Structure 1
Amino acid sequence: MSDSALKLYELIESKPEKVRALLNILIESPYFYLEDSEELFRFLNHHRKEFEEFFKVFYGWDLIMDSKCARVYKDKWYNDKISSSGREQFHFSKRDECIGFMCLLNFYEDQLVENNMSAEDKMNLKFRFGDFLKYCHNKFNGLFPENEDIYSAEYIRKNVLKPIMSELEKYRFIKLWKPDSSLGSLKADDYIYEALPALSHYNAARLSQALLQDLKDDSQATDINEESHEEPEENIENSADLNEGEGDRV
């Protein structure tokens, strides 16, 4: 038995509730944040090597952790009888959804710079939905200038951002701050979202490059299909690349 495995066994003997709580927390949701439980997060960080070896030896998973966020990552599915659609995983496959996610990553990085912040700051970045919508509207019109009449702000709100924002909340990338009832009824554009630390685990530049290459390939396929009067596919072929977190601070 390795030293790390032995130390984890000793931890289970001396701190059973903390070890049991952490093992459950790390698989109950995609990300475990410092603000979820500062005590348990710091306990995990202090005994990181022991937990890393536990997940690697018994599951083949990697424990990925920075100063504000922790998660376990698996790169292989063992039950091949379960299709990808039947698995509980963060995934966008439609072209516009992938672009919407790319927009969020780039918007997040731009806002950090504009507000003189970093991902390591104690307070997370907060942003107004209307500002993000405007950013997306400009980005879509820049990518598809020939379709400006289709990609209106209202179309992007309803058909792109509405479905992806709910998924991003579910998988703990963003958090909606409910409006103060004393302010009366607020428009959706004035809703405030918090960018959670998981966003910093994604390399916006790499994902943008991959997506833009897919769009280029898709455009070439569309030209061919128009000549043969076939409808182009709406899904991005390599969308899985857009859903793999890459932690620069890991």
Structure 2
Amino acid sequence: MTDYFERLSGPRVQRVLNVLVEAPFFYRDDDRDLFAFLRKHRAVFARFYDDLYGWELIVDAQCARVYKTRWHNPALKPSQHDVFDLTRRDDCIAFLLVLEYYEHLIDERDISIDDPSLPRFEFGELFAFARARCAEVLGEESATDERVRRLLRGLMPTLLRYRFLREVEPDAEERARIDADHMLYECLPALRHYDARLLGPRALHQALRVPELSQEAEEAP
């Protein structure tokens, strides 16, 4: 390892190597100084990960991640890999809806990748967008309010866990009065790494090609 980082600060190198594997994404706002160090020396870190692990290091203005293209332990089942990997059809549909809504937000608010402000939204705003999109694809009768709500709510814990979204905590007094539709969320930079537009304009149509949302969403708790 010293061959790669002999000219860099050992403690800072160690911290970078750790934060990049402690969670799927390392954000600039997590530690601005350390993130700047990584960006400055990303070519060295990228070579290290590629040569020793076969991983790809991806760094943009606000987010860094290491991308692993294959697994090496054949004893592990896919469900035992602790990674963001949606397998349920309804979760995939909900994620497509979230990505489309995110693209809608940054276009509507003219937010660039270098913009320090992160878009925020209320759950009810996301629901209204998703409801309209599902109705556009499925028709009004199939895209019922309850089904779309369950579809989105089923995915929210995963998006929070893997830090695609952050729940903006209201103060204690406000929380007692606020309902689920008015809960505020902040979009985190990792969403930019999953550009729904690259999938093509018919991606959601293809995912929803059955006549109604699956029963998984309807039966979700």
TM category, shorter: 0.7 to 0.9
Which is higher, the Rg of structure 1 or of structure 2? Answer: 1
Q: 2:36 aligns with which of 38, 42, 52?
A: 42
TM-score, normalised by the number of residues in structure 1 = 0.78
Q: 1:205 aligns with which of 180, 197, 210?
A: 197
CA-based RMSD: 2.4
Q: Is the 8 A contact 1:112 1:119 kept in 2?
A: no
Moved more, 114-123 or 99-108: 114-123
Judging changes above 3 Å, is the alpha-carbon distance between structure 1 residues 234 and 153 closer, same or farther for their aligned structure 2 residues? closer
Q: Is the 8 A contact 1:134 1:153 kept in 2?
A: no
Judging changes above 3 Å, is the alpha-carbon distance between structure 1 residues 211 and 78 closer, same or farther for their aligned structure 2 residues? farther
Separation of aligned partners in 1, 2:162 and 2:81: 14
| 1:186 equivalent in structure 2 | 178
Q: 1:160 aligns with which of 148, 151, 155?
A: 151
Report the residue type matching 2:48 in the other structure: F
Percent identical residues: 36
Moved more, 114-123 or 22-31: 114-123
Aligned to 2:30, what secondary structure does the other structure show? coil
Aligned to 2:64, what secondary structure does the other structure show? strand
Judging changes above 3 Å, is the alpha-carbon distance between structure 1 residues 8 and 81 closer, same or farther for their aligned structure 2 residues? same
Separation of aligned partners in 1, 2:51 and 2:169: 42
Q: Residues 192-239 of structure 1: CA distance to partner in whole angstroms, max 9, x if unpaired? A: 1100001111121233544534544x67xx9xxxxxxxxxx989xxxx
Q: Is the 8 A contact 2:137 2:208 kept in 1?
A: no
Q: Is the 8 A contact 1:173 1:199 kept in 2?
A: yes
Q: CA deviation at 1:91?
A: 1.9
Q: CA deviation at 1:136?
A: 1.0
Judging changes above 3 Å, is the alpha-carbon distance between structure 1 residues 75 and 204 closer, same or farther for their aligned structure 2 residues? same
Moved more, 64-73 or 85-94: 85-94
Separation of aligned partners in 2, 1:202 and 1:29: 17
| 2:143 equivalent in structure 1 | 151
- Work out whether 1:23 is the aligned partner of 2:17: yes
Report the residue type matching 1:27 in the other structure: V
| 2:188 equivalent in structure 1 | 196
Judging changes above 3 Å, is the alpha-carbon distance between structure 1 residues 130 and 214 closer, same or farther for their aligned structure 2 residues? closer
Runs (5+) with no aligned partner, structure 1: 223-232, 236-250
Report the residue type matching 2:5 in the other structure: L
Separation of aligned partners in 1, 2:130 and 2:65: 29
Report the residue type matching 1:47 in the other structure: H
| 1:99 equivalent in structure 2 | 93
Q: CA deviation at 1:150?
A: 4.9
Report the residue type matching 1:8 in the other structure: F
Judging changes above 3 Å, is the alpha-carbon distance between structure 1 residues 81 and 41 closer, same or farther for their aligned structure 2 residues? same
TM-score, normalised by the number of residues in structure 2 = 0.87
Judging changes above 3 Å, is the alpha-carbon distance between structure 1 residues 150 and 210 closer, same or farther for their aligned structure 2 residues? closer
Separation of aligned partners in 1, 2:6 and 2:41: 12
Q: 1:6 aligns with which of 3, 26, 30?
A: 3
Separation of aligned partners in 2, 1:150 and 1:203: 27
Q: For 1:56-75, list aligned pairs within 5 A.
A: 56-75=50-69
Q: 2:119 aligns with which of 106, 114, 125?
A: 125
Runs (5+) with no aligned partner, structure 2: 217-221
Report the residue type matching 1:212 in the other structure: H
Aligned to 1:67, what secondary structure does the other structure show? coil
Separation of aligned partners in 2, 1:162 and 1:207: 23
Q: Is the 8 A contact 2:137 2:205 kept in 1?
A: no
| 1:230 equivalent in structure 2 | none
Report the residue type matching 1:206 in the other structure: L
Report the residue type matching 1:6 in the other structure: D
